[in-house]
Amino acid sequence: MELAGNTTNTTIDFGLFIPNATAASLAPTDGIYFRYNSTGWQGIVNYNGAETTTGVLTFAHNALQQYEFIISINERDVEFWIDDVLYGSITTPAAQGQPCYASSLPMCIRHTIGGSAAGNVQRLRVADYSVFMGDIAMNKPWGEQMAGMGNTLQVQQGATTGGQLSTYALGAAPGTATLTASTAPATNTLGGLFALPIAVAVGESDYPLFAWQNPAGTIAIPGKTFYCTGVIVPAMWVSIAALTGGPIVFNFAIGFGSTASSLATTESTTFSSGTTKIARKYPIGAQSFAATAALGTVGQGFQVTFPSPIPTQPSEFLHIIMRASGTALTAGTAQVRGGVTILGYFQ
């Protein structure tokens, strides 16, 4: 964390706290946090609106220099560390069961100007932050801990706006996929719903149904590795009318580590500027339909779980690949519809 300037009429709080939802200043109503203002640095423990402070810490920062701030919270005390030096601690009062009133608190940063204009321009820059749980909380699997800290599939890392990562339009059928062997993906999302074209050729062509790129890190947002822990391919089904053609088998695979959405990407033989990598591919399952399968026929779904998660590094792609074998589907009105759910977490 980096702080530039030392100004009056400005207060910066960061840590775990609940901001006041109605007051303009968003002053914390409960929590534990560092505070910086014109008097200097302090550690604060706030119990349902009543603040206890360490007093002004002996720490003095240099402008434009990064520091590591750590708050260690235990039932009976709270410690405030800066660059591995303990600068202050607050003991939990005997009448309290824990330092603050709430047992669960969000990570927050508050920068407010009050009373009058700030004395000068001030900037707080946060390189990254983490919230870790110890003791009995560590009995949770690591993926569950990451998900609980907001690293689940809620929103794409580095995105400036919210929204889901999968293709699932509210109240609308999925668009018909364009199956292009090896190259263009049908959809650039992390799974979701899909509808195959009426005519599906068979052979040894690999169709990238989904190709999702894990965003690269930027100066504003650190890149995170996506760990895929499993894939669910729900039951596929025949829609509109009976199939023309078949029997047909749809073979699915997962690919990871490619530097491009095209499966035709070649791999660099040496490490150099512009190094490219191919997708590493694992078969994960298959679904089949009999010849001229009737409307509503369902192909059994499946789920695969990876004991060792499959990583997709920042800027690399995760693919869901389909290969059709058997007898081709030809002209008619039927479609095969399905979906893919990808499980995992960011770290």
pLDDT of residue 220: 64
342 shares a domain with 221:
yes
205 shares a domain with 100:
no
pLDDT of residue 44: 97
CATH of the domain at 126: 2.60.120
* Whether the predicted pLDDT of 183 surpasses 60: yes
Find the mean pLDDT for residues 99-128: 81
295 shares a domain with 198:
yes
Task: Please report, rounded to a whole number, the percentage of residues in the chain having pLDDT higher than 70.
Answer: 89
Q: pLDDT class for 18, splitting at 50, 70, 90?
A: very high
- Residues 38, 117: Cα–Cα separation, whole Å: 13
Instruction: Report DSSP state, residue 99.
Output: S
Which residues are within 8 A (CB) of 62 and not within 5 positions of it... i.e. 6 or more apart?
none
| E strand map for 50-138 | 50-53, 69-73, 77-82, 85-91, 107-113, 123-125
Higher pLDDT, 182 or 139: 182
316 shares a domain with 218:
yes
Q: Among 44-53, 57-66, 81-90, 314-323, which is the least confidently predicted range?
A: 57-66
pLDDT of residue 232: 97
pLDDT of residue 38: 85
Boundary (domain end) residue, out of 131, 151, 180: 131
Q: Judge whether 158 lies within some domain.
A: no
- Single out the residue of 207, 201, 168, 166 nearest to residue 184, CA to CA: 207
Boundary (domain end) residue, out of 131, 151, 174: 131
Higher pLDDT, 5 or 174: 174
Find the mean pLDDT for residues 108-118: 80
The answer to whether the CB of 337 falls within 8 A of the CB of 174 is yes
Q: pLDDT class for 103, splitting at 50, 70, 90?
A: confident
Q: Judge whether 177 lies within some domain.
A: no
219 shares a domain with 92:
no
CA dihedral 267, 270, 272, 276 (to 10 degrees): 10
* Whether the predicted pLDDT of 272 surpasses 80: no
* Whether the predicted pLDDT of 51 surpasses 90: yes
339 shares a domain with 237:
yes
* Whether the predicted pLDDT of 339 surpasses 90: yes
114 shares a domain with 238:
no
- Residues 234, 342: Cα–Cα separation, whole Å: 11
* Exposure letters 170-191 (e unless 16+ CB within 10 A, then b): eeeebeebebeeeebbbbebbb
- Single out the residue of 269, 285, 267, 279 nearest to residue 318, CA to CA: 279
Q: Can you say how many angstroms the Cα of residue 214 is from the centroid of all Cα atoms in its chain?
A: 9
Q: pLDDT class for 63, splitting at 50, 70, 90?
A: confident
Length of the chain: 347
Higher pLDDT, 332 or 273: 332
pLDDT of residue 62: 87
pLDDT of residue 16: 94
218 shares a domain with 91:
no
pLDDT of residue 2: 54
206 shares a domain with 96:
no
Q: Which domain holds residue 214?
A: 192-346
What are the residues facing 280 on neighbouring strands? 256
Query: What is the count of structural domains for the chain?
Result: 2
- Residues 321, 97: Cα–Cα separation, whole Å: 54
pLDDT of residue 36: 92
- Single out the residue of 197, 147, 188 nearest to residue 166, CA to CA: 188
Could you read off the pLDDT of 209-258 as tens digits, one per residue? 999 999 887 766 777 899 999 999 999 999 999 999 999 999 999 999 99
- Single out the residue of 30, 345, 302, 338 nearest to residue 177, CA to CA: 338
* Whether the predicted pLDDT of 141 surpasses 90: no
* Whether the predicted pLDDT of 161 surpasses 60: no
pLDDT of residue 185: 81
- Residues 286, 300: Cα–Cα separation, whole Å: 9
Boundary (domain end) residue, out of 131, 153, 168: 131
The answer to whether the CB of 279 falls within 8 A of the CB of 265 is yes
For the chain, the C-alpha Rg in angstroms (whole number) is: 27
pLDDT of residue 4: 56
